[in-house]
Structure 1
């Protein structure tokens, strides 16, 4: 497990990168709004039926995504320098993009 200072540094960088990608996708009228509320990222869908929540969990050094009635817990992978879902090997941005595509039934959503 990485130390807390390293976790904070790499999670801040990863979440900021994801934030910029979500803002860019939101500007493309992708069917959702993005909000950052003191480090808790919310993706709110236009139909108001649901939202995704993305947050760092410092005590256990993971980034969590709550989406589609599921909790995804991503761990830091030194080999790829990314937070990764161990089960699928997807990094934070790739997983978020897939979840957005599935939820909105839109395969064209891209997180740059």
Structure 2
């Protein structure tokens, strides 16, 4: 695969992922708001004002998640994003950090 094709695949995977997360947030029972600027998605937990931020890191072709519990780097491994330090897939990681910050169970259903 050429570098250009690889970058195009990565960009498509990021876009698809962020849209799926936005859809899941729209359907979640927990009071959360989100804002997207390009490929940075900021999730705000309305009960306590804390944030979880997802951002595209094109140079290393990763998706980074910044949460109160730390920063997580995820690489795309078919069929999805996998954390390079914890081994969690993106749905499990997001549910965990959102639950920790909310103080009650959050399941996005990704």
Distance in structure 2 (CA, Å) of the matches to 1:9 and 1:75? 14
TM-score (norm 1): 0.82
Please give the residue correspondences for 1:34-53 in structure 2 after superposition, counting only pairs within 5 Å: 34-47=34-47, 49-53=49-53
Higher relative contact order (CA 8 A, sep 6+): 1
Give 1:85's match in structure 2, choosing from 83, 86, 100. Answer: 83
Equivalent residue, structure 1, for 2:14: 11
Instruction: Kindly report the root-mean-square deviation, in angstroms, between the aligned alpha carbons of the 2 structures.
Output: 1.8
Shift, 1:86, TM fit: 2.6
Q: Distance in 2 between matches of 1:23 and 1:92?
A: 18
Note if 1:106 corresponds to 2:85.
no
| Residue deviations 1:24-80 (CA, integer Å, cap 9, x gap) | 11xx2x1321222222111112255431111111111000011115211001113xx
Inter-partner Cα distance in structure 1 for 2:7 and 2:41: 20
Report the equivalent of 1:72.
Answer: 72
Aligned pair count reads 105
Residue ranges of structure 2 left out of the alignment (5+ in a row):
none
**Is the 8 Å Cα contact of residues 69 and 97 (structure 2) preserved in structure 1?**
no
Normalising by structure 2, report the TM-score.
0.83
* Large movers: runs of 4+ above 4 Å: none
